[in-house]
Amino acid sequence: MTEGTVRASSRASSRSGRSRRKKKNQIPIAIVIFLVIAGIGVWLGLKQDTLLLYWLIGLAFGFTLQRSRFCFTASMRDPYLTKSTSITRAVLIAFAITSIAFTAIKYGYFINGLAIPGQGYVVPISIATAIGACMFGIGMVIAGGCASGTLMRIGEGFWMQVISLFFFIVGSLWGAHDFGWWKRTFMLKAPKVFLPDHLGWLGGLAANLLIIAVLYVIAHKWEKKNSDELSH
């Protein structure tokens, strides 16, 4: 049986019984799962619209992550470990698209004299940011998945990520417990830097896109240097 990017090989039939194992068709199970998902959606919708919205958004993200094998962990790990930057470049494209769209939305509120949404995600920059990000980077590579990746892989059937999630929760609680100390020690005078505040709306967006473009070129050259052909 041939499917898309997967080609049948004549060698396969001479291999062990593995190749001749009868494959189940899981589509019927998928349909049952779909009905359960829809049922949960209806129940949530009856409780509160917001819950249904978040459920749908989560489903969209989960479906997309699994279908494209998208992995933020790989985007940071592969340039070093396997010299591949295809996911890195895809992540940069996502940064570029969302930068433009988010800026447009924020500007729209600003220009109408309304409070800019999402500013809670412009957070203080301090030593805690550096240490925390580094810890996260180490952890995601060792655990075989970042935050979104862990959830995605649980859906794919990996027991390892169930363990990872449990300890992620424990670590989060621990971090929340210590947060007060980190705040008192490092964050009281830590600056929040919203690029448009310093460079203007256009300047802020341009700076973001410039950084993305430079990183893209570096990623492209890095992979080219280390392989025969480039896959886009």
Partner 1 sequence: MAKEVELDCLGEACPVPLIKTEKALEELEVGDTLIVLIDHSCAMKNVPEWARKQGHEVELEEVDDGEWECFIEKMK
Partner 2 sequence: MKAFFDKIKNNDFYKMWFKDALPYVTGAVLLSVFQVVTFATTGNPWGVSGVFANWGAWLFELVGGSVDKWFYFSSPGAQATLNAGFLNHPGTWRNLGIIAGALFAAMMASGFKIKKIKSYKQVVAAALGGLLMGYGARIAFGCNIGALFSGIASLSLSGWVFAAFMFVGAIIGSKLLVKYFM
Q: If you count them, how many residues does the chain have?
A: 232
**CA dist., res. 150 & res. 72, Å (int):** 11
Least distance (Å) between residue 225 CB and partner 2: 18
User: By C-beta, is 93 or 123 nearer to partner 1?
Assistant: 93
Choose among 25, 63, 72: nearest CA to 156: 63
Give residues 13-42 in contact with partner 1 (rule: CB under 8 A).
15, 18-19, 21, 23-24, 26
- Tokens representing 56? 């749908």
Would you count residue 12 as binding partner 1 (CB under 8 A)? Answer: yes
Location of structure tokens 């919708």: 45
- Tokens representing 92? 């940069």
**72 and 146 Cβ atoms separated by less than 8 Å:** yes
Q: Of the candidates 21, 22, 157, 225, which one interacts with partner 2 according to CB under 8 A?
A: 157
Q: Of the candidates 8, 12, 19, 155, which one interacts with partner 2 according to CB under 8 A?
A: 155
- Coil, helix or strand at residue 163: helix
Give residues 79-118 in contact with partner 1 (rule: CB under 8 A).
81-82, 84, 86
Give residues 68-127 in contact with partner 2 (rule: CB under 8 A).
68-70, 72-73, 76-77, 80-81, 86-87, 89-91, 93-95, 97-99, 101-103, 105-106, 117-125
The partner in contact with residue 219, picked from partner 1, partner 2, none with C-beta cut-offs of 5 to 8 angstroms by kind, is: none
**190 and 124 Cβ atoms separated by less than 8 Å:** yes
**105 and 117 Cβ atoms separated by less than 8 Å:** yes
Choices 10-18, 190-198, 220-228; region in contact with partner 2 by CB under 8 A: 190-198
Q: Of the candidates 114, 184, 228, 232, which one interacts with partner 1 according to CB under 8 A?
A: 228
- Integer-rounded Cα Rg, in Å, for the chain is 22
The partner in contact with residue 137, picked from partner 2, partner 1, none with C-beta cut-offs of 5 to 8 angstroms by kind, is: partner 2
Least distance (Å) between residue 163 CB and partner 2: 4
In eight-state DSSP terms, residue 230 is -
**109 and 98 Cβ atoms separated by less than 8 Å:** no
Would you count residue 189 as binding partner 1 (CB under 8 A)? Answer: no
- Coil, helix or strand at residue 166: helix
Site string for partner 2, 27-66 (x = CB under 8 A): xxxx--xx--x--x---x--xx-xx-xxxxxxxxxxxxxx
DSSP string, 80-125: HHT---HHHHHHHHHHHHHHHHHHHHHHHHHHTTPPPTTGGGS-B-
Binding site for partner 1 (CB under 8 A): 3, 5-9, 11-12, 15, 18-19, 21, 23-24, 26, 66, 69, 71, 73-74, 77-78, 81-82, 84, 86, 144-145, 156-158, 160, 223, 227-231
